[in-house]
């Protein structure tokens, strides 16, 4: 199969028929052998009914329905695992991503040998309250991760099939899929300016809290990328350093006390010195950090239950 289009959705019943028809028109015009995978993330409206109707009339439409809302990352993960196409395209279901961009994205994967191509909504049809925080967020992500993309969270992306199936998208890490791709060992990541559509139906499903969560997730992904498989390297190093500083300080206090006693000089009690408590605190914190690293190593060895989601129903997945 040439192409899989994965569309995560949540309460988008109005836009689905138009979106599927648009994707079908583009893919048929290019002569692709394609499938459209609609992943309903526990919608509370009639979205799943629409998906079932589309699947009944169009065999290339496949559907996955979650019993409850797990989030966009869960929807993408299940869509990736289901996709059979050599190239996997992801786009949002709200018609703000333009299906006319699909041929160029496929060409960049096939002919320019990219592992992944991320869309860049250079001209956005969003309010200032959304565009300015987004620019700050993307600037910070570029600086921290070293990946030179302008729009990390653009829903319109293209992947080689083996890339899509190799990454673990969980929690709210869909914002940092390029980082996950690079972490997995696929380094050729491209970018393409894409047309951004005005929202036609409904309202956005994300509020301002997504920017706060985005920065928290950036800290998480940075730690996971650098120390996820070796937490002892971080916590163990910090713990050893703090314990060493505390031990040296306590040793200095002890030597000073012994010197005074040996030379019959009146010396205050060691416990009256604030440095004693600072040294003791440093040694305790150092020990705790070291133990945190050790426990982190144990946890990292038992993470096989990640990305298990309860799929309620499926359509057209039997083949």
Q: Domain containing 175 — which CATH number?
A: 3.90.550.10
Distance between CA atoms of 53 and 112, rounded to whole angstroms?
Answer: 37
Digit-coded pLDDT (tens) for 252-272: 988 888 888 888 888 778 888
Q: Which domain holds residue 288?
A: 231-300
310 within domain boundaries: no
Q: Say yes or no: 156 and 76 in one domain.
A: yes
Is the domain of 264 the same as that of 137? no
C-alpha pair distances (Å), 156 with each of 47, 92, 121, 295, 319 = 21, 7, 9, 38, 27
How far does the chain reach from its first CA to its final CA, in angstroms? 13
Write out pLDDT tens, residues 292-316: 888 887 776 665 455 556 677 778 8
Mean pLDDT, residues 224-230:
69
What is the pLDDT at residue 35? 96
> Are 34 and 164 in a shared domain?
yes
Q: 82-126: per-residue pLDDT in tens? A: 999 999 999 999 898 999 999 999 999 999 999 999 999 888 766
> Going by DSSP bridges, is the β-strand pair 34-40/3-9 parallel, antiparallel, or unpaired?
parallel
* Residue 311, φ and ψ in degrees, nearest 5: -85, 125
How many other β-carbons are positioned within 10 Å of the β-carbon of residue 79? 23
Please give the average per-residue pLDDT across 66-92, as a whole number: 94
Q: Please check whether residues 217 and 238 belong to one and the same domain.
A: no
Which pTM value belongs to this model?
A: 0.73
Angle between helices 209-227 and 177-184 (to 10 degrees): 10
Q: Do 121 and 263 share a domain, yes or no? A: no
Considering the domain architecture, whether residues 171 and 292 belong to the same structural domain is answered as no
């Amino acid at each position: 199969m040439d192409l899989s289009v994965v569309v995560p959705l949540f309460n988008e019943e109005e836009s689905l028929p138009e979106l599927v028809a648009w994707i079908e028109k583009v893919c048929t015009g290019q002569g692709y052998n394609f499938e459209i995978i609609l992943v309903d993330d526990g919608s509370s409206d009639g979205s799943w009914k629409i998906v079932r109707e589309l699947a009944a009339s169009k065999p290339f439409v496949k559907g996955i329905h979650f019993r409850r809302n797990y989030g966009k990352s869960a929807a993408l993960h299940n869509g990736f695992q289901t996709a059979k196409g050599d190239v996997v395209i992801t786009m949002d279901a709200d018609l703000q991503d333009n299906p006319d961009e699909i041929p160029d994205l496929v060409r960049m994967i096939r002919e320019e040998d990219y592992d992944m191509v991320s869309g860049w909504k250079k001209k956005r049809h969003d309010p200032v309250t959304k565009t300015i925080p987004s620019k700050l967020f993307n600037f910070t992500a570029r600086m921290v991760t070293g990946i030179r993309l302008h729009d990390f969270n653009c829903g319109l992306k293209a992947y080689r099939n083996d890339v899509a199936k190799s990454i673990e998208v969980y929690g709210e890490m869909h914002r940092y899929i390029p980082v996950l791709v690079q972490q997995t060992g696929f380094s050729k990541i491209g970018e393409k300016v894409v047309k951004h559509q005005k929202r036609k139906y409904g309202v956005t499903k994300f509020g301002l809290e997504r920017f706060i969560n985005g920065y928290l997730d950036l800290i998480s992904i940075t730690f996971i990328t650098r120390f996820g498989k070796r937490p002892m390297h971080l916590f163990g190093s910090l713990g050893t350093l703090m314990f060493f500083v505390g031990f040296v300080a306590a040793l200095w206090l002890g030597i000073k006390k012994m010197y005074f006693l040996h030379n019959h000089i009146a010396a205050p009690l060691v416990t009256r010195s604030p440095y004693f408590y600072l040294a003791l605190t440093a040694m305790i914190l150092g020990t705790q950090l070291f133990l945190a690293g050790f426990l982190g190593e144990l946890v990292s060895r038992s993470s096989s239950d990640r990305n298990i989601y309860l799929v309620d129903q499926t359509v057209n997945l039997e083949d």
